[in-house]
Amino acid sequence: MFDSLLSGMEPLPPMPENETVKGYAPGSPERAAIEAELKAMMADPPEIPLIIGGEEVRTGRVKEIRAPFDHSLVIGRYHEAGEKEAAMAADAAMKAARAWADMHFRDRAAVFRKAAGLISGGWWKKLAASTVLGQSKNVYQAEIDAVCETADFFRINPALAERLYADQPRSDAGESNIMDYRPLEGFVYAVSPFNFTAIAANLPSAPAMMGNVVVWKPASTSVLSNWWLMKLYEAAGLPPGVINFLPGSARAITGALVKRPDFAGIHFTGSTSVFNSLWKGAAENLSAYRAYPRIVGETGGKDFVFVHPDADVDAAVACTVRGAFEYQGQKCSAASRMYIPRSRKKEILDKLVAQTRELRVGSPLEYGNFVNAVIDEAAFDTIKGYIDRARANPACEILAGGGCDKSRGYFIEPTLILSAEPRSEPMAEEIFGPVLTVYAYDDSDMDAAYALVDSTSPYALTGAVFARNRHDINHALSALRNAAGNFYVNDKPTGAVVGRQPFGGARGSGTNDKAGSVLNLIRWVSPRAIKETYSPARDWRYPFLG
């Protein structure tokens, strides 16, 4: 029977704990295990098919997957989907829809809870190693993403869904009122970015958990790890057709899906421009749809760190270095503009420059490297373009880094730019690479400084303020209330944890439906209110008529 009719009858179990982060210290068992897995994976590059209705489909249009840190290294091949396969995937999803929607939530959730269990029990090696090789994350970045955050989504989302199902209206004596949290009528189109394996896990699985069927298009630069996610779903017992795996041409797949009457929603994470084009595509086809599609998108950012004049400078600098340069700045939440008080400019810049120069750049297979390769040549060229233009800009000075080398892999040094202009290109635009631009504000007018932070970019994803005095913290919280959907006090603006810091931003950063919270899950249900009267009226006349 419907989930909502069966839930709420028993006490809810406590919220699950987050997956423990492994340290990979020298001599640790996880270090030995990941090294063995990396070797095995490099020795045996897979040929990756599409998965449609549980069947492997090979189109013959094959693309190579190369490691970003060594483009001579082929780590896999994948078949590309086009329009025809997109239609097949949507048909397969719709074929699976009824049985999946009718399955009790406890059973649907068990698939994902089992997937989390499989990750902790050994699959972590596959997810971490494929993320290291395919997306050029060092083992620690792969661990917090592909292993821990993925397992967290699979455990915490079901617990949140149970709480949603248990949220039921009041019933008076003589009646029963029930909210039936139905899945959407149609399929959800999940389009994932390259930069987080966990996001690629969450985008199809969150709607699926709520009873929906999904056509999932992974990014072309994360197919290897995303393929292992698909294998994990199969190992966890996900019925065929519930999630269909469709790497391939974004335009052709989107073009085929967006016209269908059963197009029920988009679950997207990626750049603002692509999200806008998806939204426009849906709007153009609105009259063709059975229902208004749910459109959920988390997009770009230009995330700030604001250092108050009385801040703990050592904390501000260390956290900014991590927030700006971990995973080469390719996190939507990465610190990419920093505001420092003029009164402490020299002290802060000296520390920032020294620490940035200490970061080693190189292959993620060598452990001492904090910064690894960026994802591909297009990203390399874009980021280098920003650095070159900053070098030529009289308002900008490159204080550290700036070197770029794509001879073997796509390596860009962590780069620190000082901008005398508060709204220069690197202060205002999303660069999505290891580039941090600093502006020294006039700390005799704090309101003006906050107004500048608030108005410099179209985004509002993450931001951090470093300050000690509670009045100052409150001032920043209030002045920057709409400048970030995830706001950090005395911490770096990256590293949101599922269930603890629900993630997402507004303005140009997306619909702010907060991945890893019930607010996101609500978007994947279409509630029906059911009233049953135990003793219905048998006479149409009201007493007032007398």
> Is 319 tagged catalytic?
no
DSSP label at 544? Answer: G
Output 132 or 449, the one with its CB closest to ligand NAD. Answer: 132
| Footprint on residues 254-273 left by ligand NAD (CB under 6 A) | 254, 269-271
Task: Tell me how far, at minimum, the Cβ of 515 lies from ligand NAD, in Å.
Answer: 7
The residues near 359 (Cβ < 8 Å, ≥ 6 apart) are 321, 325, 370, 371, 414
Q: Is 217 in the site for ligand NAD (CB under 6 A)?
A: yes
DSSP string, 172-220: -TTEEEEEEEEEPSSEEEEE--SS-HHHHHHHHHHHHHTT-EEEEE--T
CB of 386 to ligand NAD, least distance (A): 14
Question: Measured from the CB of residue 461, what is the shortest distance to ligand NAD in angstroms?
Answer: 6
20-56: b (≥16 Cβ within 10 Å) or e: eebebeeeeebbebbeebbeebeeebbebbbbbbeee
Residue nearest to ligand NAD (CB): 270
How far is Cα of residue 471 from the mean position of the Cα atoms in its chain? Answer: 33
194 binds ligand NAD (CB under 6 A): yes
Question: What span, in angstroms and rounded, lies between the C-alpha atoms of 91 and 100?
Answer: 14
Residue number, 193 or 341, with CB nearest to ligand NAD: 193
Tell me: does residue 461 bind ligand NAD (CB under 6 A): yes
Does 301 sit near ligand NAD (CB under 6 A)?
yes
Q: Is 396 a catalytic residue?
A: no
Nearer to ligand NAD, 183 or 193 (CB): 193
Contacting residue, 298, 376, 413, 443, with ligand NAD by CB under 6 A: 298
* Only segment of 124-132, 156-164, 188-196, 394-402 that touches ligand NAD (CB under 6 A): 188-196
Residue listed under structure tokens 């990626």: 270
Q: Least distance in Å: CB of 333 to ligand NAD?
A: 7
Which of 232, 80, 79 lies closest to 146 in space, CA to CA? 232
Phi, psi of 515 (to 5 degrees): -55, 140
Asked if residues 124 and 147 have their Cβ atoms less than 8 Å apart, the reply is yes
CA 367 – CA 369 distance, rounded (Å): 5
CB of 513 to ligand NAD, least distance (A): 10
Do residues 328 and 487 touch, judged by C-beta distance below 8 A? no
Catalytic residue among 332, 404, 413, 430: 332
Q: CB of residue 462 vs ligand NAD: minimum separation in angstroms?
A: 9
Q: DSSP letters of 446-475?
A: HHHHHHHHHHSSSEESEEEEE--SHHHHHH
Q: Which of residues 474-513 bind ligand NAD (CB under 6 A)?
A: 503-504, 509-510
Among 219, 335, 338, 427, binds ligand NAD (CB under 6 A): 219
Residue 4 or residue 299: which is nearer to ligand NAD going by CB?
299
Q: Are 125 and 132 in contact (CB under 8 A)?
A: no
Q: Which of 278, 371, 400, 431 binds ligand NAD (CB under 6 A)?
A: 278
Contact set with ligand NAD (CB under 6 A): 191-196, 199, 217, 219-220, 250-251, 254, 269-271, 274, 277-278, 298-301, 332, 430, 432, 461, 503-504, 509-510
The set of catalytic residues is 298, 332
